[in-house]
Amino acid sequence: MDILASDVDKIINQLLSYAPSADIELIKKAYQVASLAHQDQKRLSGEPFIIHPLEAASILTEFKMDVVTIAAAILHDVVEDTTVTISNIKEQFGDEIALLVEGVSKIAWVHQHSKHEDKAENLRKMLIATAKDIRVILIKLADRLHNMRTLSHLSPDAQKQTALETLEIYAPLAHRLGMGRIKWELEDLSFSYLHPDLYHEIARMVASKRRERELYAEKVREILTEEFNKEGIAADIISRPKHFYSIYQKMNLRHKSFDEIYDLTGIRIVTDKQVDCYNAMGIVHNKWQSIPGRVKDYISTPKSNMYQSIHTAVIGPDGKPMEVQIRTKSMDVIATEGIAAHWHYKEKTKADERYASKFAWLKRVIEWQQELTDPKDFMEGLKQDLFSDEVFIFTPKGQIKILPKGAVPIDYAYSIHSNIGDHCFGAKIGGRMVPLDYKLDNGDIVEIITSIKAHPTQSWIRIVRTPKARSKIRGWLKAHEDEQQKESPHKDIKSKHQEQPSQKPKKSSEGKVIISGISDIAFNLAKCCGPIPGDEIAGYVTKGGITIHRKDCRNLVSVSNGQSRVVDAVWGDDKTGTYEAGIIVRAFDRNNLLKDMLSILAATKITINEAWAKVVDKGIAKCGFIVLIRDKEHLVEIMHILERVKGSIDVYRGRT
């Protein structure tokens, strides 16, 4: 108990350091109630259970949270794991703490065998509680962070499941709230359990480069300090840390080597005054050549999570590219602590509502969660919304609408009203007609054109970005299913072919691809993109017939200005046969790399038509395979198997 008492004293001392008039008796009382409720409970590590809520509370003191939040964190597990009820909490601590404890209790520690539906419903309830008081999610993030720090005591399967959920839900939530410190740690901890070999390899390479990086940062610091002193600019110049998961993501997404990613030095300049941010940028650009297109001013246009900073990139000393962030001290606090930085000890809960209103994404989640009854749809939509950037568009009357990046006019139409979405016929951007799959961009003035005769089609589901639009479209299609079958313009054609089977064309198999509603048109599969069942496809009319491309094929996109030569195509019901597909694997180079991959592929019993390997960069190898597969689902399954090969960095479709 002495150790636990010292933990409580530590929390109290941390709290008093930024809130000297805090009600310390509230913390002591919360500890007494929680320690009594948890007295017979142990964690999997064998430690007393009470250590966990105390650690969560301690994390929140690092973010200078108010005494009510700290007390609620100490109590956050009593309703979930003991006989204490919310009514008991309300009687002893009042409505405010009871609301926070109840909100956090809505989503429990996810056990290995929790049902997918239960997780979705718990998340839904937690987000609703968060809308009432943003501190609910702050307590939950502290709770999850400590659980991730002690994840080693769980079984390997439970570790991976929890790490994946953390990476998909809680790290993006921390990012959305602007809490960079928690986001980075959650990501790196999750990465260490999901890809331990890659994690340790990147950690080793980071350690080997640390001294070289420190010397370069010191050189930059000396140059800038001298220049800033000449102009009377007070600023701290810091070498930005590189987080392991961030390095992995960039290697994966950009298909670059570790050296290319890690050698891109990150410098942060923190000034006292906002005007000096712009003065500092001028000095940086005068000293070194700027890289075109890399300046972003998030000070004048803050991100939705209140992040403010100037981003730029230059060719720094010794000709090395360098990323620079410039912001004030207060902006720097917000960048790492996010919404927590806005919580002052003496403010009431109304402050929560004021700051919560700044998070348009949370309002969107609360709106569309009421539309989605399927837990799978809810989880899919939540993950999509958490990871999405945003675009700011305008109505014809000048009102701002915020939608996820990649949204199309149909998404916008449904955000106004379901009836407008259901009858969306077209859209104008700044008075110019655009197609319904046009990707909305910042500053677009959008006008929706409706028609009584217009209605949703199955293709809309593939192009919309928002869960609300997708749900509404599916609802309309289901409600009008019988009507659509009656009105299908291809019904008679299908019946005719079913009654009088035609001879199979030389270059197609009847039913494999349906072109413009007809299933027996000759076609070739394009070699450039290698379409397979499951890909979205389109046909391109050539002298030799119709060539089927993937819709995202660069060659198809480059010629799609001649729209009259592009025809609709979908895969038919015939699932027989196999298709060639190319797979590329980037991995850390080592002995027997290709041999190991071939052995794993052979175990799947697929046909391998071609295999090769080559070193493409220092320590990085690329392996390629041409295999025969059934469909996209089969291909994804094979790619996931290759991802598990030791040293694998990323796996993607391709031939070269």
Task: Tell me if residue 633 is catalytic.
Answer: no
Q: Which of 77-81, 402-406, 478-482, 625-629 has the lowest mean pLDDT?
A: 478-482
pLDDT of residue 506: 35
pLDDT value of position 185: 96
pLDDT at 495: 35
CA within 13 Å, CB half, 409: 25
Q: Say which CATH class 2-194 falls into.
A: mainly alpha
Is the CB of residue 10 less than 8 Å from the CB of residue 58? yes
Confidence of residue 221 (pLDDT cuts 50, 70, 90): very high
Q: What is the pLDDT of residue 120?
A: 59
Among 169-178, 191-200, 624-633, the least confident range: 169-178
Burial of 226 (0-12, 13-18, 19+ CB in 10 A): exposed
Q: How far apart are CA 243 and CA 8, in angstroms?
A: 31
Q: What is the pTM of this model?
A: 0.63
Averaged pLDDT for residues 297-318: 86
Which residue is associated with the tokens 């389109």? 538
Mean pLDDT of the chain: 81
Give yes or no for a contact between 298 and 310, defined as CB atoms under 8 angstroms apart. yes
Tokens encoding 111:
């056990």
| DSSP output for 274-309 | HHHHHHHHHHHHHHSEEPTT--EETTTS--TT----
Rounded distance between C-alpha atoms, residue 358 and residue 390, angstroms: 14
Q: What's residue 430's pLDDT?
A: 80
Instruction: Tell me phi and psi for residue 25, to 5 degrees.
Output: -60, -30
Nearest to 143 by CA among 184, 110, 115: 110
Q: Helix (H, G, I), strand (E, B), or coil: what is residue 169?
A: helix
Give me the pLDDT at residue 116, please.
Answer: 54
pLDDT recorded at residue 503:
35
Return the CATH number of the domain spanning residue range 197-338. 3.30.460.10
> How many CB atoms are closer than 10 A to CB 252?
15
Known active-site residue 81: yes
pLDDT tens digits for range 447-463: 998 888 888 988 888 88
Q: What is the C-alpha to C-alpha distance for residues 270 and 329, in angstroms, rounded to an integer?
A: 6
pLDDT interval class at 375 (50, 70, 90): low
Torsion of CA 281, 284, 285, 291, to 10 degrees: -100
Task: Write out pLDDT tens, residues 14-72.
Answer: 999 989 999 999 999 999 999 999 998 999 888 999 999 999 999 999 999 999 999 99
Active-site option among 7, 23, 81, 574: 81
Catalytic residue chosen out of the listed positions 7, 23, 80, 447: 80
Phi/psi of residue 180, each to 5°? -60, -40
Quick: pLDDT tens for 95-137.
999 989 988 875 543 333 345 555 555 666 666 666 677 888 8
Q: Name residue 558's amino acid.
A: S
- SS3 of 562-620: the string is CHHHEEEEEECCCCCCCEEEEEEEEEECCCCHHHHHHHHHHHCCCEEEEEEEEEEECCE
Q: How far is CA 527 from the centre of its chain?
A: 32
Distances (CA, A) of 272 to 64, 73, 181, 311, 359: 21, 34, 22, 17, 27
Digit-coded pLDDT (tens) for 537-593 = 888 877 667 889 998 888 887 665 545 577 778 887 776 788 899 999 999 988 888
Ranges of each domain in the chain = 2-194, 197-338, 362-484, 496-571, 579-653
Determine the CATH number of domain 579-653. Answer: 3.30.70.260
The whole-number pLDDT of residue 21 equals 92
* pLDDT score at 113: 37
CA distance 20 to 462: 56
Which amino acid belongs to residue 633?
E
Count the Cβ atoms, other than its own, within 10 Å of residue 159.
20
CATH of domain 362-484: 3.10.20.30
Closest by CA to 550, choosing from 534, 573, 574, 572, is 534
* 8 Å CB contact between 57 and 73: yes
